[in-house]
Chain A
Amino acid sequence: MKNISVLLETEGTYPFVDGGVSTWCDILCHELPQVDFYICAITGDPYVATKYNIPPNVKQIIHVPLWGAEEPAEYVLEDVPFSTIFKKKVNTTDSIIEEKFLPVFRELLHGMAESDMHIEFYGQMIHRMYHYFKEYDYKDTLRSELVWRAFKDEMLLNYVDRPQGYNEDEWPSMFDITTCMRWLFNFLMPLNVSIPRTDISHATIAASVGLLGIIAKIEHGTPIIATDHGVYIRERYIAVGSADLTFFSKKFMTEFSAFVTKLNYLYADQISPVCNFNQRWELRWGATEAKVRTIYNGVDPDIFVPGEKSERTRDRPTVVAAARVFPLKDILTMIRSAAVVRESIPNVKYIVFGSLKADPKYVEECRSLIKELNLDDTFELAGFHSNPAQIFNEGDISILSSISEGFPYTVLESMSCATPVVGTDVGGVREALEGFGIVVKPKDPEALAEGVIRLLSDDELRQRLGRMAREEVLAKFRTSYSVSGYWETYQQLAETRGRIEKKECL
């Protein structure tokens, strides 16, 4: 029987960048050898190398760097003969742009400004744009004066007529218009690739990369599954909100993100968040309850096994955390909780394992607080740990103080090691931890400390929760369960595809 083929669409993750989503992709590719994966990976810049051992069932990796290429042909169309690219360039004339591209381009800009969900139409626009770029040159088109003028007209349409209808800080400057059009040049880069024909498209994030699946669906009826580890639009709002940009640029950036999110949810046949928490946003952004089916992440309980505490922590009540040190992990609250715990358990030891490179300024802030609270002997920023499976056996309990999460692997890993967790009630943490650990309010050092003290001072409770946590992982959060959830989905969607094709044939 022919293998099912899947176009796995990644953005800023597998196989070029490591992290939780990449690990998940890697597991999926290795654990489903009966599936042929075609990976389309969007990255920020072109200079990347695969960070994973790529299994033989990964048949193709299409790399799409959004930034850093002077000529998109340098990287995106690496396998296309230059003579073909050159021909496209020669064919890209002003009259072609005016006749074939501008109407679609203007519609796309309208679509971005749409506030409701009438966007089926815009999926067709994306599809037409994709076909245009198959015949004509991407860079020469988007760099043309006609496109620039059209972009400017559309962006300024409302402002020119009625500038007083907007606050002064909403007025775009020339620089805003220039910047936004240059962004668009980069954001639309995925439309420049040649999409392999597969049975299923699997977007690992409901972002720009998902546009490829939408095109495949319109063109061949290829069904789509979208997995939300975090919710893309929510994360964009957070990142763009705090960025050093003007109001207009922020608005443009979020409008584009909202546009692709809505399109992704609209065209997806199944939306699978990694925890129910994500559904709160998904359902408000166009996902329907009928489409949403949570597939939890899983861990390998044979790798994350309970073990003896190491020598260095054996004599002290120890709290461990696996977290990169940056603001969303709220390590400052964790440090403050350590000060509270020390009042009751003077020899307590907190150890945070995780990279200190993500935000050096924040790391310094943490170090200052440790010094200020005189916690040098109590709180340790231990840096990167090469063996994640050992981290949780270093401590009696583990801790998670994040203020924002999806469905963190670290919680499952700790549970799998029978190390009970005190975690903040963010993202899907409660879904994993409730009844098997202690869930506390985020940003509340006293509550966090209270949970830690409770577990450290009650051996029986700690051991019982640890045991139950391990059992819960064995029953619900194994890698194999997660993988089989996707395998079942692939099979169902592949069948759907068969039906669609048969119907078309009839």
Chain B
Amino acid sequence: MAKQIIIEELVDAVIKATERPIDEWAVAATLESMGLRDVDAVHDFGKRDIFDLASDIFQKCLAKLQYRSSLGEKDEALGARSQITSFFRFYSSGLMFAMPMAGQIAMLFILRYSLWAYFDFTEEQATIVALGTILGFIVTGGFIQVIARRGIFYREQKLYALVKGVCFHITKIATVAIFAIGIIVYLVNALFPFLSQQMIIVSLMYYVLTAHLWISMSLLYTLEKRLAILIATLFGVGVVYLVLTMTTWDIMPAQWCGLLAADIMMYAIGYIVLHRWKQKMEGNLRLAKLPRESVLVYAVRYYFIYGTLYFAYLFLDRIVGWSSSTGADVPYLFWFRTSYELGMDWALFSFIIAVGSLEYSIRRFSQIMIPKQKKFLGWDSSLHNRYFTRFYLRQCVLLVITTIISITLVYYGGICIRDHFPDVRLVQDFFANPLTFTVFWAGAAGYALTTIGLLNCSFFFTLSRPTLALRAIVPAFVVNLIVGFILSRAISYEYSVYGLVAGALVFAVISTINGWRLMRSLDYYYYSAY
């Protein structure tokens, strides 16, 4: 049968096998892989050997091939339809991230309490709780980043044993750090009392329980179990409700029970999911082991610093403002101010709504990166970078628009509630102090600018450039601290919110400059994103 094969058939066969042979050697190797031998080249084709035959066939392949660049080929991911569906998909996915927080706020309005908040807390109680929860955020911020970054890095490679390993390992270290810092705070307060020892113990209870709440949440976030976070936190509120209705316990122990229940539930879900994933692993992937500690620390160090500084930056205005006695008499060094916190919480709503846009921008970027890279010729890197710079600017504009819309919606939503339910005590309490409005506007501006910084940092992290994020968050933190400190001491405590505004402006400006530069050299940054 093979005897009837004519050269033209071989040419077709080589083109079919290789699409387009690179050179004569490629043809020779292909012919041999088809079972042709030197003896066939001699007898059937009158050539010296396979290499001689390959040379002839290669030339015939070149003559026969239709050359067509693949650059012009359509890619669905780049179409307008994909853009629209991606927006809704990724935006809603981003909103899902904020659902647990939204769920807690909803519970607060329905039941007057959530896992750690309560409308009827005295300012002393609120001080204790705020101190604990803020400390929890700051202490765990770095660990949360590390769990998420490293966990997702391994999850994407389907190295579930390593996801489990890194999540558990970091959780253990975080637990030690949480307790160690708790003990230090207790001892420092014993030596230099800024709160009573009883207050500090209660505060530390909130600190430990909320710190684990954030850690366990990051665990489930890493495992893409966002709905489980919502369910667990609502379950926690359910436990608070049950304790309050079935026992004579006060709100605080009830909240501890709720927090503990939510923590346990999330850790349990995390453990079960990780265990199942690990069971699913096949072949050599089961042999994967975590790198040694020093390498791991080196790989995650910037993410850890960023995470810690980010949460410190986010709560700095409260720490600075509530530790100022300018404009108000306070019994302790640190004192919760209800109207200030309400203003910031109100502003936080606009932040939550805008976060969806962040998710869209960064996921769309990842979605179009490779298809777009295939569209640009190697020597057109400036065009390539220009395209992505424009894309980046569009995302900034989209975020600004989303933020303006969300601030407007949140403001008028609040006003609407105030006007329609003027007799409800909760509403009266909320809007009782005009300071809340001032803080809302400043806080909303600060959060809006922060989202721009976050958008940039998302690009930096996607391209494995955490130092660019650090270069923005460090000066932002410092400016936030200095401006907030000076204003809150010189004018009045609530002016610490302008520290956040100034810090956020620095965060947005520096990160945008870095983001712009990154996009202008995106060909390099994309190559080196490993």
B-binding residues in A (CB < 8 A): 45-49, 68, 70-71, 73-75, 78, 82, 86, 143-145, 148-149, 152, 155-156, 159-160, 163, 167-178, 181-182, 185, 233-235, 237-238, 240-242, 246-248, 250-251, 254, 280, 284, 328, 330, 403-404, 424-426, 441-444, 446
Contact = CB atoms under 8 A, between A and B. Distances in A.
A424 B18 contact: no
B425 interface: no
A426 B370 CA distance: 41
Contacts of A404: 32-33, 35
B375 interface: yes
Contacts of B292: 74, 78, 82
Given A175-B370, A182-B530, A241 B377 contact: no
Given A169-B69, A171-B69, 13 more contacts: A46-B288, A78-B292, A145-B521, A174-B381, A175-B373, A182-B530, A233-B25, A240-B26, A242-B17, A251-B22, A254-B22, A254-B23, A444-B2
Pairs A-B, 8 closest by C-beta atoms: A442-B35, A82-B294, A237-B29, A175-B373, A168-B69, A403-B35, A167-B67, A241-B18
Contacts of A241: 17-18, 21-22, 26, 29-30
B528 A403 contact: no
Nearest to B71: A173
A164 B526 CA distance: 28
B422 interface: no
A494 B523 CA distance: 50
Contact of A173 (B23, B26, B374, B526): B374
Interface of B: 1-2, 17-18, 20-23, 25-26, 28-30, 32-40, 49, 51, 67-71, 153, 157, 159, 284-289, 291-292, 294-295, 298-299, 370, 373-381, 384, 521, 523-524, 526-528, 530
Nearest to A330: B35
A441 B51 CA distance: 18
Q: Chain B: interface secondary structure?
A: helix
B20 A169 contact: yes
Given A169-B70, A182-B527, A425 B37 contact: yes
30 contacts: A45-B284, A47-B285, A48-B287, A73-B298, A78-B292, A143-B528, A152-B378, A156-B378, A159-B379, A169-B20, A171-B377, A173-B375, A174-B376, A174-B378, A174-B381, A174-B384, A177-B527, A178-B526, A182-B527, A234-B28, A234-B32, A237-B25, A240-B22, A241-B21, A241-B26, A251-B22, A280-B38, A403-B35, A442-B37, A443-B35
Contacts of B32: 234, 238, 404, 426
Q: Chain A: interface secondary structure?
A: helix
Contacts of A242: 17-18
B223 to A, nearest CB: 20
A46 B157 CA distance: 12
A33 B153 CA distance: 44
B30 A237 contact: yes
B378 A155 contact: yes
A74 to B, nearest CB: 4
A178 B284 contact: no
Nearest to A175: B373
A173 B377 contact: yes
B378 A444 contact: no
Contacts of B1: 444, 446
A155 B379 CA distance: 10
A500 to B, nearest CB: 34
B527 to A, nearest CB: 5
B394 to A, nearest CB: 20
A251 B18 CA distance: 12
Contacts of A152: 378, 381, 523
A433 to B, nearest CB: 14
Contacts of A71: 291, 295, 298-299
Contacts of A169: 20, 67-70
A275 B26 CA distance: 22
Nearest to B150: A70
Given A74-B295, A241-B17, A442-B35, A178 B22 contact: no
A403 B30 CA distance: 11
Contacts of B29: 234-235, 237-238, 241
Contact of B287 (A49, A144, A238): A49
Contacts of A45: 284
A234 B298 CA distance: 41
A247 B69 CA distance: 10
B374 A238 contact: no
A327 to B, nearest CB: 9
A403 B34 contact: yes
Given A47-B285, A241-B29, A82 B376 contact: no
B35 A441 contact: yes
Given A159-B379, A168-B68, A426 B530 contact: no
A176 B295 CA distance: 31
B54 to A, nearest CB: 10
Contact of B374 (A175, A234, A442, A446): A175
Contacts of A68: 157
Contacts of A446: 1
A78 B370 CA distance: 33
A178 B527 contact: yes
A178 B523 contact: yes
Contacts of B288: 46-47
Contacts of A176: 378
A235 B21 CA distance: 14
A168 B288 CA distance: 43
A160 B51 contact: no
Nearest to B299: A71
